[in-house]
Amino acid sequence: MKLYRTWKVKPYVLVLPALLLAVVFAYRPFVITILNSFHTVNLGGVRMQFVGVENYQRLFASESFQASLSNTLRFTLFFVPTNITICLSAALLSNREGKLATLNQIFFFLPMAVGLSSAMMIIKMMFNPSIGIINHLIGADIQWFNDPKAAMALLVIAGVYLDIGFNFLLLSAALRNVPKELVEVANLEGAGKMSIFRYLQLPLIAPTLVFVLMTNIKDAMLISSPVLILTEGGPFRSTQTLVYQMYLEGFKSGNYAMGSAIATVVFLLTFTILLSLLHLERRRVYYQ
Amino acid sequence: MRRLFIIALLALFAIQGLMALGTPEKTNEQVKTITWWHSNSGLAGKASDALVDSFNATVGKEKGIQVQAVYQGKSNDVLTKTKAILQSNTTRDLPDLVQLDGSAVLDIRDQKQLIAMDDLAKADGYDLSNIIEAARLSVTYKNKMIAMPFNSSTILLYYNKTAFEEAGLSHTPKTLKELGSTAKALLKTDEKGKVTRYGFANVPTTYELIVWLGQQNGLSYITDEENGHTGPPTKVLFDENGTMVNFLSRWKELYATGAVENLTSDLNGAFASGRVAMIVASTSNLTTIFSMVGDRFEVCVANFPMVDEKATGGVNVGGGAIYALDNGSGNQAAAWEFVKFAISAEQQLKWHVATGYFPVHQDTYSLQAFEQHLAQNPHYGVAIRQLMASNPKLQGIWVPSAYQIYYAFQSGILKMLQENRSAEETSKALEREINSYFSEFLRMQGQ
């Protein structure tokens, strides 16, 4: 009897530390954020008054928020396909035997080992329009930080660089798990590289691909650190993303209610997109 | 094996605890330690270390005060850290002194832990009129000097003198109109018509507009409550007093010359590479720009161009100031001793020579060493003469949502230029957007 009881307590004790951390650092802030977004909150972070959806109304009416929303969606639209194409091509190209292939894989994987901030600082120097190496190499005079289009492109480049290591790792592991016999059989039957990819590899790596797609969308919707370091939302708000605006409102302007409202919007938006994708995945992707 | 490892780890922690216990407490009651958080790096960092060292070796030693200078990152980072402590109410972690820039005022001015420099000076019988008026007013809130101006700067016109000579230009532009004709003369294109050198580059935003709007008609306020210096602003005044429309019309003419590039970042780089012949920037960029340009061409500085002949207000004082905070240690008087030392005529001269920030103490200007320094470095003299001729009441704006306002100006002006909107329309749109930030702020504070 006594033994039975200790067994019943043990799982709770074991889950407690993780639960505690989750409550303190995730669930509680989550609830507070949603609460704040329905109140006015003063500079000291004290909730003053319940205002219903007024914060949201003001938010959607503001030009700055509209810019952030459209920038974030634009970024996601550019970033996700570019990133997946590049990571998948890299994984396919380096999916072979031999020492050189390993070296290749290491190169693709390497960006993961460089800290985000340091990488962004280096990119900032490389893309400096007047003294940077990139303009010098391509012999162009692109105003990376002054032209809205170029700044968005730069952000996509930075985003791809940040994600390539991890995505490459996942995709290349998935490709390796494709049974070699099947590929050999297909080869013997005279299938070309394209059809092997299309009919054999792609269906088999689909679950991983969906995972990569989802994390990419999440990363794109929540992008802020590269913006913070590279462009600070400029020029002319053209790279001001939702989470960057949340940072501005909450931490720079001390407007916690607005910051919370933005955070809630970002959460709902990302959550909806991911849910609908998940729905699609259930119907289209088959697990082995 | 794993258990052994855990035990070893625990033992290590325990030993560390013991070691912390053994750290000798400062037993010397006579010596008061003052902490000063600052954001001075590079040349300014060396200069502030030298300042602290010389205080600790002289006045500090005499009076039993030791200052500990802590570099806390950029000005923004210093503010973030200070704010975090103020909000968490762990007052005793606050530094005694903290150096912050203008954007910090709104967050700090109403904190109960802030000790106004005005009060510290009064307690010591120090005459604050020793500090030059424009600098003093730049940190005055509700008629009280809340901080001590320390790293003060103003805006200047930097120009490529070699390009000026090449274009046969003999004098620098005094007004925006002249800036247009000068820029046009400096414009260079290649055979294909592509611009290889712009005359001027800028998209005006808060920093420039404080001056270009404020200097009109001798002195014009940008927001009510005297640019936010007597309380939180409730509305902007630039539309109703016409200063914005006047400025925007002149800016449109300037842009129409085709010699102005809409550059928003890395202006120093564009200038140093010779792609842009004139820029406006803070005096605190003097050393950086000179070293970036090297001997590629000759750099000179001149007064910041006025909007028009009637805009006689001059320029304002920007930069940072030192704030005293109450962390419960009762070190206020000791902290004041250091502040007094740091702004003394001699120390301000050293600080100026090392960093380019201009001296805030009146007496520095009559020191012989200062005159010698100016004779050798005439560029510094330009900024100082410009400031002395300015209306000291021309001051920066203390507004909520400063970042949003910054981008509102920038994108509003760009829209006007690219979509060919009228100056009136742009001014109205800016008024609407910025006023909404003000009302948003007041709404949040429950006012």
B256 and B402 in a single domain? The answer is yes
CA distance A100 to A170: 20
Which pLDDT tens digit goes with each residue over A25-45?
A: 999 999 999 999 999 998 878
Which pLDDT tens digit goes with each residue over A72-92?
A: 999 999 999 999 999 999 888
B240 and B291 in a single domain? The answer is yes
Q: Do B264 and A41 touch (CB under 8 A)?
A: no
Do residues B60 and B66 lie in contact, with contact meaning Cβ atoms separated by under 8 Å? yes
- B252 belongs to a structural domain: yes
B299 and B327 in a single domain? The answer is no
In percent, the amount of chain A with pLDDT more than 90 equals: 49
Q: Is B421 exposed, middle or buried (0-12, 13-18, 19+ CB in 10 A)?
A: middle
Q: Look up the domain containing B344 and give its range.
A: 32-153+319-366
Tokens 């912050």, residue located:
B100
| Among chain A residues, CA nearest to B269 | A130
Which candidate, B124, B74, B119, B78, places its Cα nearest to that of B97?
A: B78
Which candidate, B181, B197, B177, B201, places its Cα nearest to that of B189?
A: B197
- B37 belongs to a structural domain: yes
B183 and B131 in a single domain? The answer is no
- Supply A144's token pair: 């990376």
Do residues B406 and B203 lie in contact, with contact meaning Cβ atoms separated by under 8 Å? no
- Supply B51's token pair: 């300042």
Which candidate, B94, B97, B47, places its Cα nearest to that of B68?
A: B97
Helical packing angle, B423-444 and B243-256, nearest 10°:
130
Helices (H), B192-266: 206-214, 224-228, 243-256
Contacts of A62 in chain B (CB under 8 A): 436
B275 and B401 in a single domain? The answer is yes
B169 and B54 in a single domain? The answer is no
Contacts of A255 in chain B (CB under 8 A): 400-401, 440-441, 444
CA distance A253 to chain B (A): 5
- B24 belongs to a structural domain: no
B414 and B436 in a single domain? The answer is yes
**Which of B403, B410, B443 has the CB atom closest to A40's CB atom?**
B443
How sure is the predictor about A286, in pLDDT bands with cuts at 50, 70 and 90? Answer: low
CA distances from A255 to A22, A30, A93, A138 (A): 26, 17, 49, 43
SS3 content of chain A, % helix, strand, coil (to 5): 75, 0, 20
Which candidate, B380, B189, B181, B159, places its Cα nearest to that of B277?
A: B159
Question: How many domains does chain B contain in total?
Answer: 2
CA distance B381 to B433: 39
Q: Do B414 and A258 touch (CB under 8 A)?
A: no
B294 and B434 in a single domain? The answer is yes
CA distance B386 to chain A (A): 30
CA distance A162 to A228: 14
- B267 belongs to a structural domain: yes
B122 and B140 in a single domain? The answer is yes
Parse chain A into domains and list their residue ranges: 63-284
Dihedral of the alpha carbons of B164, B166, B168, B170, in degrees to the nearest 10: 30
- B254 belongs to a structural domain: yes
Cα-based angle A155, B269, B404 (whole degrees, multiple of 5): 50
B232 and B168 in a single domain? The answer is yes
B283 and B402 in a single domain? The answer is yes
Which pLDDT tens digit goes with each residue over A93-126?
A: 888 777 777 888 888 888 888 888 899 999 999 9
Where do the DSSP E strands lie in chain A?
Answer: 39-41, 47-50
Helix (H) or strand (E) holding A173: helix A148-176
- CATH number, domain of B67, equals 3.40.190.10
DSSP class of residue B19 equals: H
Positions of chain B with pLDDT under 50: 17-27
Q: Is residue A269 over pLDDT 80?
A: yes
Q: Do B407 and A62 touch (CB under 8 A)?
A: no
**Which of B80, B410, B445 has the CB atom closest to A43's CB atom?**
B445
Contacts of B414 in chain A (CB under 8 A): 235-236
Which candidate, A119, A212, A211, places its Cα nearest to that of A159?
A: A119
Tokens 């930080």, residue located:
A145
B163 and B263 in a single domain? The answer is yes
ipTM of the complex: 0.81
* DSSP-assigned beta bridge partners for residue A75: none
Residues of B with CB under 8 A from a CB of A: 80, 87, 106-107, 110, 203, 262-266, 269-270, 272-273, 275, 400-404, 407-408, 410-411, 414, 433, 436-437, 440-441, 443-446
| Among chain B residues, CA nearest to A43 | B445
Which CATH homologous superfamily contains domain A63-284?
Answer: MetI-like (1.10.3720.10)
* Residue-level pLDDT at B136: 93
| Among chain A residues, CA nearest to B445 | A42
- B409 belongs to a structural domain: yes
CA distance B314 to chain A (A): 28
